[in-house]
Structures are given as structure tokens and as C-alpha cells.
Amino acid sequence: MVFNSFAFLIFYPIVLLLYFVLPQKWRWLMLLVASYYFYLSWNASLIFLIVFTTVVSWVSSLLIERGHGKHPDKPNGPLEKLWLVLTLVASLGVLFFFKYFNFLSKSVNDVINLFTVTPGDPLILDLILPVGISFYTFQTLSYVIDVYRGTVKTEKHFGYYALYVSFFPQLVAGPIERPENLIPQLHAEHRPDWNNTVGGLRKMMIGFFKKVAVADLLAPYVNAVYNDAENATGFGVLLATVMFAFQIYCDFAGYTDIAIGCSEIMGIRLMQNFDRPYISETIAEFWRRWHISLSSWFRDYIYFPLGGSRCSTFRHMLNICIVFLVSGLWHGAAWTFVIWGLLHGLYQVIGYFTLPLRNRLWDRLKIGSGSIFVKILRKVNTFLLVCFGWIFFRANSFTDLMLLMKKLFTDWRFDRSYFGDTLDTMGLSAVGIVTSLLAIFVMQRLDVSKLKIKDPDAPVLLDRKGRPLPPEGAAWLSGSRYVYVIWAIVLAWLLLLVGDGASSFIYFQF
């Protein structure tokens, strides 16, 4: 079951109705059953994996906290460390086996074949990658680690903890929620609220628009190049890569907008996961705006424990590269993802060492480093660097990657037939170009409009005439923003109802 399917359009209203009709003491059970049903709709045979991870992490957390009570002066003794290690081994072991076993087996076999006369074949298992395994594994790990650190108290009610792990809006593609944010909200009693309802529906509609009207619109043009690298041209690779930048953003951010909206209607606030990443001036800023829940997870559980920036310059740069290496592996079991992760680490290392040189350059040119010109230049440069990295991310194989890179830098001709033939090969007509640009423009306006929405829990603000500004339930209908919102809602629902409405989200494979 995906968000953009008829099944979900039936499933979610039923869950929402039961959530507000049932007494508070039974809501957790209904949500847990609904969440497991949501996951079972993908592959019922793999439900044992999420159950296993949930049970192991919950029992370990109880044992760790019990140890804290026995010796509060030294909360983490050998036994507590043992429970933590066992949890890490069990959870990461399941993740490794299903996601990385075949990749490691093939890589090791390739190395061995370099030194043998008779090449052998790798051991390849017929494994199905469980949907969302990277997301819920990291969510359980953050819980156990936080309990071990003493920053979070264990959830004594197994049902609520199981719901924290499997909460259906963010189960398969995040955001990766922290226990201190989500678990208390699952315990709290929520009643129907107009602001939550309209605000949540608005976020869902924006998410549907991003997915259906932008990501799915651009996907065929991107696939025409990346799935046929042999016949690609330099212009085709460039154009398809820029399109993929918006496709993957709208696909992933669209999912999280829908997830956040679904939860908000129920009164549950999930963390922000995207903040207009393509306006970033540096790669570091890009990662503060892109997949925020994952970036902050790596920061808190890998980067800081490694020493962060409170160490020598060499170690600091090494820590950054290690984090991005792990990030690449998290995204996929292929060398293309590994290179993509290391590339982003290298971007930051180069940026760190060249910053003084760049500042001196602006001083010599008598251009302020904070001027609009420099800011625009930085944004364009960051966007181009990110797009270059997306080639590694999107390439179907290392062989395709090398071919695409060769085409990008060598296969160019500056004549009308060259560009026309490339567009024809991609299936991109004049109407397609205009529609794509319009969809991207509307998406950008919708993202900007979200920044102007007032938090319903914040104090009431007044306009220049002393009148209260509209709350979230009505603010999006005021001013010029309603044009984009209404257009987005109508187009998203039309495409959802007329089309097949069941294209999967890109990040489900991670």
C-alpha cells in the first residue's frame, strides 16, 4: 500500500475515524494493528523482521535501565554494555544480511578473482529487501542508545513501544523519529481539531502534488537517459540529472509531507525532514536541509561519538568522511552509493580548506562575501555539485556510471539536430518542457508558502491594522498563496484519480 493509491484513500479515513471514536485506552491498539496491516500489505512474510527488531530493542532497554537502578553511581557497567552490543549486533545483523550480504559477497569474490587463475562465482542469495528496514532499524537503535546514555526513560508498555517503531505514516520512509518526540504524543489524548485537520490536509495535498505532479511527471524523462546509458548524449545526461534532482526531492519530500500531514490530523507532530535544500549556499548547509532526520541521526550517533570537530583538523575531516561513507552505504548496497557518499564528504573537506582562499579572493575583488552576487554564486555552485553527485546516486550500475560520465564530458555537438534528437529520445516535447517547468515552479511556491504559515500553538499575531492573523487552518487560503494551493490540490487529485496512482516512492528501496 502506498500513499498515492486507492487502497490508502480507503484505509486512512477508516483509521482516522476509529482513532477519534475509540476510547483513549484502545487507540494505541487500533493504531498498532493498522500499522502492522499497512506493513503487511507490502510483504506479509517479512513482518517477523520488524517484530524481532522491536522485541530485542525493547527487552534490551529494560535490562539496561534495570542495571542503571542497581548501580546509579556507575550506570553503565559491563552487563549494560553487553545488552547494548547485543542489540546493535542483532538489529544491524538483520539489516546487513538482507541489504548488504549479496553486495559484500560479490565484492569479495571480485577481489579474490583478481588473484586466481580460475575465477569463481559469488554466493548470491535470493533475498527480498524488506521495505523500510533501514528506517525502523535506525529508529530502534536511537531508542536503545538513548536509554543506555540515560537521556530517555524506557517505555514500560510494549504496545506503545511497538507503535513507536511501526507508526504507519513514517514507517517505511521516515522521518526517523526520536523516542522523546513521538512516544509522549502516542500516549497523549488527541481530539479532532480544525487547525490540525486543515493544516494536515494541506500538507498532504502538497505532498501528493510533489509526488504525482512533479516526481512522477519527470520520472519517464530521467529513466529514458539513465536506463539507456549507451544511447545517451552529454546534453541528455545533463538535462536528466537536473530533472532527477527535482524528481528525487519531490518524491521523498512529497512522502514526508504526506506522512507529516496524516499525523498532524491525528494531533501528532512529526519532525521536519526537508527545508528547501536547493537554496543552500554550501554542501554542509544542504545536509542541514536535506533528510534532516537522517542527517541529525548520523550527527548524534556517529559524528559526535567520533569526536566531531573537537579534535585535530585531520581527525575532524576524517570524521566527516566516515559519516558520509556510512551515509552512502545506508542508501544502497552498491559502489555507486559508496562513491556518492564519499564525494559529499570530499566536497566538505575541500570547502573547509578553500574557505580562506575564497574569502581573500572576494576581498581582492572588493566584493563582500555576504553580497547578493556571492550568495547567488554559492547557491548555483552548491546546486551543481549536488547534481553531479546525483549521477552516482541514480546510475543503475558502476558500468553505467562510467558511461554516463564519459557522455557528459565528451558527447556534445552544438547544432539543432543534436538537441532535438536528444529531446525526442527522452520523449520530451515542448508541452512536456513547459509542464515540467510549471510544476517545478508551483512546487517551489508551495514550499515558500509553508514558511509563512503560523504555528497554531504559537501566540496570536496581529497584522498592521491590529487584526489577528489567520491560524494555520485558514492562513493558506489568504493572500496570493491560495492560487498555488488550489491549483496543486485540483491537479494532484485529478492525476491521482485518473492515473494508476500506485507508483512507488524512490526511498522505499532504502
SS3 call for 468: strand
- Going by C-beta distance under 8 Å and a sequence separation of 6 or more, which residues neighbour residue 18? 30, 34
Task: Give the C-alpha distances (Å, rounded to integers) separating 40 from 1, 60, 133, 319.
Answer: 9, 26, 13, 38
SS3 call for 404: helix
Q: In angstroms, rounded to a whole number, what is the distance separating the alpha carbons of residues 306 and 253?
A: 30
Q: Which residue blocks in 332-365 are alpha helix, DSSP H?
A: 335-364
Q: What is the dihedral of CA 370, 347, 178, 326, to 10 degrees?
A: -170
Among 240, 248, 241, CA closest to 221: 240
What distance separates the 2 farthest-apart alpha carbons in the chain?
A: 85
Residue 224, Ramachandran bin (φ over 0: left; ψ between -120 and 50: alpha; else beta): alpha
Among 210, 161, 160, 172, CA closest to 60: 161
Instruction: Give the three cell numbers for residue 308.
Output: 566531531
Options 68, 291, 331, 344, the catalytic residue: 331
- Going by C-beta distance under 8 Å and a sequence separation of 6 or more, which residues neighbour residue 37? 11
Task: Give the C-alpha distances (Å, rounded to integers) separating 45 from 39, 171, 463.
Answer: 10, 17, 56
CB 219 within 8 A of CB 254: no
Place of cell 487507540: 27
Q: In angstroms, rounded to a whole number, what is the distance separating the alpha carbons of residues 234 and 318?
A: 34
**Catalytic residue at 190?**
no
Separation of first and last alpha carbons in the chain: 17
Bridge partners, residue 462, by sequence: 468
R_g of the chain computed on alpha carbons: 24
Place of cell 529487501: 129
**Residues with catalytic roles:** 331
